[in-house]
Amino acid sequence: MGPPLRLHELIRAIRSVKTQNEEREVIQRECAEIRSSFRDEDSVYRGRSVAKLLYMHMLGYPAHFGQMECLKLIASPRFTDKRIGYLGAMMLLDERQDAHLLVTNSMKRDLEHSSSVVQGLALCTLACMGSTEMCRDLAGEVEHLLQTSNSQVKKKAVLCAVHIIRKVPELVEMFISAAEELLAEKRHGVLYGAVLLVTEICQRHPEACKRFRKILPLLLQKLRQVMSGYSPEHAVAGITDPFLQVRLLRLLRVLGQNDESVCDAMSDLLAQVSTCTESQSNAGNAVLYETVLTIVDTKSASGLRVLAVNILGRFLLSKDKNIRYVALTSLHRLVQSDHAAVQRHRGTIVECLRQTDTSVNKRALELCFALVNESNIRVMMRELQKFLRNCPPELKQQCTSGIFLSAEKFSPSKRWHIDTIMETLITAGESVRDDAVSHLIQLIIGSSELHGYIVQRLYKAIRKDIVQQPLVQVASWCIGEYGDLLLHGVCEEEEPIQVTEDDVLDVLEGILQSHISLPSTRAYTLTAIMKLSTRFQNSVNRIRRVVSIYGCCHDVELQQRAVEYNALFKKYDHMRCALLEKMPLPEKSNTGDSENLIVETKDKIEGPPENNMSSNIPASHVTDLLGLLEDNISNLLTPVTAETSTVNQNESGGGSLLDLLDETPAPASLPSLEVYNNGSLQVEFSFLRPPSNSSLLVITSCATNNSSTNITDFQLQAAVPKSVQLQLQAPSGNLLAASGESSVTQSIRVLNPQKVPLRMRLRLSFTHNGNSVCEVCEVNNFPAGAW
């Protein structure tokens, strides 16, 4: 059998094949021969076999069976074998294989070898794949080689020392003295490694920083020498030795942190580097960027920091996308500490939004939102709205979220705030936060003076286009709440439009019937139509027909709502106005859940002060107190999200308002009670008890005015003993028309777990014939079934 193929012959054979299968056959055949030679302990051609194996490893084929042969080559006295062995160790061994520990003894002998070339092989291998144990065992030999006169060995020993410090930080003190001496080196490679070694030492040993701060003049001198042409052969694109400059600047940054004296000493040199370094090449930009980081991360003077921001501003004008990205990232770090300096580059930053690179757009967008304040909110929102129209899809949600937050924080007026959010909803489509709808609804509820303007603008928007579902949901909700303002033309900001009840219902029915409407949008719309039954007096029959149609809808959510609404029309019409009254101002919800945000109400119960009476409900009992309609009224009055719209029709336990009302005892079992009558004002209580909770009583108060003049500013407040819990809902109004033409209803929920005899104190305040009246009475004659 002849000698095995040489490496170049194997390469030629592999490159000559035409298919991958042929290449695999050549590799398998050669691997079989290599394995055979390893078994025969062929020491003559072992190096050649390992070299071929390493080439096959580079092509992606398994070569782990050659690990032990690499160790044998390292132990060989021949340099050519050692070279292949160390190369194989660096490629095939790492800390995951136990075999790498076997090379420690051979490496120790080679570090003490008389040949600098052999020492260099061992140093390179240790720096590449040395484990913690190996570094700890060989650190002494590496420290000794730092004192050698051979520059090539010293350069490799310095880099190896850096690796040792990274793997075994507790050995850092071993190299402090040697590192300080190495900074005086004139040979380029050794000096570069020395600067890197000192930087690693200072980062891992804060006490060492004090020692190296004493030689700060030497470091500044080295940097000046490099700038003036210390090593011309290492110049890149006209910049003298940018790699060493960057390393020196990084070391200065480490030394200057939290030390004002160091910052003052190097401020002039940093200013010189900033102004004298050309920015026409990547090498110059790298030096400038490192200078900026050094200025930013140390306690540099304000003028120097402004200079650093201006350098980043110049980076923004570069045609290179990477440089612009780096500049935007760095400016974002500076925007909090140097806001005014960064603000001066706002125009250039906004211009980056028009770039075609998504990464640059993302960084520019983040920086733009960080620059928004009270003085530029209008200008910045216009620019961000332009960006939103054409921005990449993956940035739309981030952009809309930022617009919402900025508008909420710096809004100059409520109208501007609402206009901005509505415009964003129109532009962004579905790319909005989950709580965008509830956020806008909450804002609208709190802007009572703009309700006419808002509902008119939203009505125009959905009459024109119903593609943007979040906007349609807000519009449906607002029309359901304030649809009567459309008919009255209550809008001072814009010219009122002529709208009839049928026009409004036509638009809402169109949304219900549209194939692009989401289930949650239909839920909003059906609830809005139902609410209009109390606002539109001439369209109740039409609304009843629409509701009855959806009682057979395939969508379970809509079907349940329609059935419950239909029950209100048929059996419990006297409760419809109270259930569908306008929503009070909700509390802000931290969950971002639109249902919670819409449903939660701020209950203000201010009963007459008395030590043994309580009108406030502990938060822990709110759920119990709302047990009557917790799952039903919230479903009835607010649409659900797509995730919660799938309802199990087989669930039992009074899960719907219809079931609850059908199971309620007849009113005759709890007769109505007149609690106040002064001849003009009459207040009557009616009672309702859910069958599932015998401790809960729902009282509906109905106040009427039997006099010939109106009663205004009517308010009813109640208090009960501390053992009883009470919740007072918002009234339907505060005006009682004369001669009983209108009434004010209010729901009172009472939870009496101990079922003690109920007594309640009422305070009635109102204005009648120009006189303010306040009456207090006590009710203790509740019907027998009310505990």
Residue 754 belongs to some domain of the structure: yes
Per-residue model confidence as pLDDT tens digits over 403-445: 988 998 999 998 899 889 888 888 887 778 777 888 888 888 8
Tokens of 723: 């053992």
Q: Which pLDDT does position 715 carry in this prediction?
A: 93
Tokens of 467: 């593609």
Q: How far apart are the first and last CA of the chain?
A: 109
pLDDT at 610 over 70: no
Residue 747 belongs to some domain of the structure: yes
Q: Which pLDDT does position 505 carry in this prediction?
A: 93
Residue 595 sits in the same domain as residue 464:
yes
Q: Which pLDDT does position 336 carry in this prediction?
A: 84
User: Which residues fall within 8 angstroms of residue 664, CB to CB, at 6 or more apart?
Assistant: 688, 689, 690, 691
Parallel/antiparallel/unpaired status of strands 711-721 and 760-768: antiparallel
Residue 594 belongs to some domain of the structure: yes
Per-residue pLDDT band at 355 (split at 50, 70, 90): confident
Q: Which pLDDT does position 663 carry in this prediction?
A: 40
- Can you name the residues that pair with 748 across neighbouring β-strands? 699, 728
Q: Which pLDDT does position 490 carry in this prediction?
A: 66
What integer is the mean pLDDT of 30-45?
Answer: 84
HSE-up (13 A, CA, CB side) for residue 381: 26
Q: Which pLDDT does position 491 carry in this prediction?
A: 63
- Write down the residue that tokens 């500013």 correspond to: 713
Per-residue pLDDT band at 384 (split at 50, 70, 90): very high
Per-residue pLDDT band at 97 (split at 50, 70, 90): low
Q: Which pLDDT does position 599 carry in this prediction?
A: 33
Q: Which pLDDT does position 587 carry in this prediction?
A: 54
Per-residue pLDDT band at 668 (split at 50, 70, 90): very low
Residue 242 belongs to some domain of the structure: no
pLDDT at 46 over 70: yes
> What is the count of structural domains for the chain?
2
CATH of the domain at 683: 2.60.40.1230
Q: Which pLDDT does position 597 carry in this prediction?
A: 32
Residue 470 sits in the same domain as residue 595:
yes
Per-residue model confidence as pLDDT tens digits over 630-658: 334 334 444 433 333 333 333 333 344 44
Residue 513 belongs to some domain of the structure: yes
Residue 582 sits in the same domain as residue 688:
no
Closest by CA position to 138, among listed 171, 97, 116, 179: 171
pLDDT at 662 over 50: no
List the alpha helices (DSSP H) in 75-187. Answer: 79-92, 104-111, 116-129, 132-145, 151-167, 176-182
Closest by CA position to 534, among listed 569, 585, 499: 569
Residue 530 sits in the same domain as residue 677:
no
Per-residue model confidence as pLDDT tens digits over 458-488: 998 898 888 889 999 999 999 999 988 888 7
Per-residue pLDDT band at 695 (split at 50, 70, 90): confident
**Does residue 519 contact residue 555 with C-beta atoms inside 8 Å?**
yes
Residue 711 sits in the same domain as residue 585:
no
Between CA 486 and CA 439 the distance in angstroms is: 23
Residue 149 belongs to some domain of the structure: no
What integer is the mean pLDDT of 48-59?
Answer: 91
Per-residue model confidence as pLDDT tens digits over 192-248: 999 999 999 998 888 888 888 888 899 898 888 888 866 677 888 888 889 999 999
C-alpha R_g of the chain: 41
Which of residues 566, 583, 602 is at a domain's end? 602
**Does residue 412 contact residue 378 with C-beta atoms inside 8 Å?**
yes
**Does residue 101 contact residue 133 with C-beta atoms inside 8 Å?**
yes
Residue 672 sits in the same domain as residue 597:
no
What integer is the mean pLDDT of 28-53?
Answer: 87
Which whole-number Å values give the CA distances from 639 to 385, 482, 518, 528, in the listed order? 29, 17, 11, 10
pLDDT at 591 over 50: no
Q: Which pLDDT does position 785 carry in this prediction?
A: 76
Percentage of the chain exceeding pLDDT 90: 35
Q: Which pLDDT does position 449 carry in this prediction?
A: 84
Per-residue model confidence as pLDDT tens digits over 136-156: 999 999 999 998 889 899 999
Between CA 747 and CA 740 the distance in angstroms is: 20
pLDDT at 296 over 70: yes
Residue 640 belongs to some domain of the structure: no
Residue 57 or 627, more confident: 57
Q: Which pLDDT does position 618 carry in this prediction?
A: 35
DSSP 639: -
- Tell me the pLDDT of the chain averaged across its residues: 83
Range of the domain at 552: 434-602
Going edge to edge, which strands form the sheet with 696-705? 673-677, 681-688, 696-705, 743-751, 725-728
Which of residues 549, 567, 602 is at a domain's end? 602
Residue 558 sits in the same domain as residue 455:
yes
Residue 280 belongs to some domain of the structure: no
pLDDT at 613 over 50: no
Q: Which pLDDT does position 94 carry in this prediction?
A: 75
Which of residues 602, 630, 656 is at a domain's end? 602
Residue 710 sits in the same domain as residue 593:
no
Per-residue pLDDT band at 493 (split at 50, 70, 90): low
pLDDT at 660 over 80: no
Residue 676 sits in the same domain as residue 570:
no
Per-residue model confidence as pLDDT tens digits over 327-342: 999 999 888 888 889 9
Q: Which pLDDT does position 186 carry in this prediction?
A: 83
Closest by CA position to 70, among listed 55, 42, 90: 90
Count helices and strands in the chain by DSSP H and E runs: 36, 9
